Structure 1
């Protein structure tokens, strides 16, 4: 590929004249923004082991009352983007949030989309637009853009969940903000039971046109059962994986980030091709080894890792006797809408 001119090749007086008028020559930086063949990611492969994180999170509960924190969260930051940027990848924010017994995280709504993957504990709940969603380990709860939500805890043990937001993208677009609110009145319980069986939805379906997110809670007990049934009914399937979708349309459950659950059968080794999107793996049950170019992570339950885009990955279940279950987040829905999504084999 042709070598381009450098900035220092230009006369100093010319460079000063450009700067004076807020102009920048493209050619010295062209290869940086349009590298040959594939992007140069800032996202680094990184793992956040839960046990070390958990002790610091519980210590945060002792040091900072909920009234002083509003949301008591430790952000899982990728050093490739700079810790101050609070990014796990270019588009994904991750945070581990703690709610102690008797606490209430006040109602607000914001422009970034969020989901909660429950890591440990029982007795807590999220109320979204008046719909009360109980939290149990492995459950996925949506808090989409613009919807009021708050968190409460009626149990007796700490509850921890993983927040996954498209905050970096929304912040980059200068569209990120929050609106504070008052405590919500609970008007209904979680509506997940109405969508328990594929192929059927409450009727009349189109009366729900004003609710783009008809299902806000995806119970892990149901998702796990679907994965086990899929593995049993299709033993030759390449990957036992299900996507979290809008049950009325079949589209991704949110518009920017995508979410799925993967079952690794006992002793299974699964090779994933290089995809253009970065991926987050969170271990729900069991243990898995994650291998990629020059890196290997051994995930135990509740561990989380991030893999850059355009990187082939191998997942291996360490157990020969029990299945392992992994939650996956990526920005494939956004990339597909923009026509950027690729799979390289």
Structure 2
């Protein structure tokens, strides 16, 4: 099984005849697409320090008006996928987006799902499907597939957020496109108010939303409070983490990528087993080291890094006196739907 024939072992005229008929012999490439034990991964562990991104993003604000850019973004591209593909992992796209005071990024909708994790600034808002969502640091705002959304800024300082999309998957499936639309009228009601407390939701007889995405804005104040309460209530739990979910179904907020918030206690080191999905770590507050067996990154507030799948990871709070808070995006919902989700506590293969 391991001693497979090579393409160069075949006669050149035979290979030419196959290619002329759009045929390819599998056996010379079999171990490339089905390697033993661990998949081949193009995703590389990569760190994007915010201190290097921000001045270049502000420069982009000077060089390109929003009318010409529509969305003023610097893509966080993983070199393992080549910069031209503009992807952070197999299924995740990352971008840092800038909105200057008084600007409006026009309404559009697209097939890829997106979320916005607000990095800094006040006074901006995103309107999604008619719901106006204020943007404050650490807030998570959804712009799911097919929903109209636009961004505006009524404040006085630049606002920057991290975009996370499943664009690479949509592009690979040849279903990626967008439509432009008119400015939206704002509807009454905000999902983050209706679903502000865990464990209780509006009773259907009084008018549950009926929406596929009943909650579009997840305020950081609520997520942080949930983490702090969990940490205080469960000192025996090492991984203090919450998952952003649909409050009516309990399922992941979007159907392809998963989103989480994590708290590292002061001085804590957390060992995470190798899992099949790639993961993105973004520091909301504090500082942390994200390390694999091969390399490590020291992240401060607003820094972002990506770790490939099937890679055991160690997270260490850089402070002995203050907690660190991280936003995590991963491909776990997609892997579960495909039946390939896998955890390897001992770093050994385990078929799902």
TM range (shorter): over 0.9
User: 1:12-39 CA distances to partner (integer Å, 9 max, x unpaired)?
Assistant: 1101100110100000110000000010
Distance 1:170 1:300 in 2: 32
- 1:94, CA displacement in angstroms? 0.1
User: How many angstroms apart in 1 are the aligned matches of 2:306 and 2:189?
Assistant: 34
Judge conservation of contact 1:282–1:305 (CA < 8 Å) in 2: yes
Mean Cα deviation higher: 197-206 or 94-103: 197-206
Q: Aligned residue for 1:161?
A: 161
**1:259-338 → structure 2 map (5 Å cutoff):** 259-338=259-338
Q: Distance in 2 between matches of 1:319 and 1:144?
A: 36
State how 1:48-197 maps to structure 2 within 5 Å: 48-197=48-197
Cα pair 2:126 2:150 within 8 Å, conserved: yes
Aligned partners of 2:42 and 2:80 also within 8 Å? yes
Task: Work out whether 1:223 is the aligned partner of 2:226.
Answer: no
How far 1:196 sits from its partner (Å)?
A: 1.6
Other structure's SS at 1:169 match = helix
State the match for 2:348 in structure 1.
none
CA RMSD of aligned residues (A): 1.0
Quote the offset at 1:197 in angstroms.
1.3
The 2-side partners of 1:59 and 1:203 are apart by 49
Contact 2:170/2:176 (<8 A) preserved? yes
Greater shift in the superposed pair: 204-213 or 27-36: 204-213
Relative to the length of structure 1, the TM-score reads 0.98
Structure 1 gaps of 5+ residues are none
Choose 287-296 or 127-136, whichever is displaced more.
287-296
Q: Could you tell me how far 1:199 is from its partner in structure 2?
A: 1.3
Structure 1 contact 133–189 (Cα < 8 Å) conserved: no
Classify 1:205/1:45 alpha carbon distance in 2 versus 1 (closer, same or farther; 3 Å): farther
Give the corresponding residue for 2:349: none
Taking structure 1 as reference, are residues 206 and 14 closer, same or farther at Cα in structure 2, changes over 3 Å only?
farther
User: Deviation of residue 195 (structure 1)?
Assistant: 1.1
CA distance in 1, matches of 2:126, 2:206: 26
Alpha-carbon distance, 1:210 to partner: 3.9
Segments of structure 2 that go 5 or more residues without pairing to the other structure are: 346-352
Residues 1:242 and 2:237 aligned together: no
Measured in 1, the distance between the counterparts of 2:189 and 2:33 equals 49
- CA deviations 1:142-184 (Å, max 9, x no partner) are 0000000000000000000000000000000000000000000
Moved more, 235-244 or 93-102: 235-244
| Structure 1 residues 75 and 205: alpha-carbon distance in aligned structure 2, compared to 1, 3 A threshold | farther
SS for the counterpart of 1:223 is: helix
TM-score by length of 2: 0.97
> Partners in 1 of 2:9 and 2:188 — Cα distance?
67
1:190 CA drift (Å): 2.8
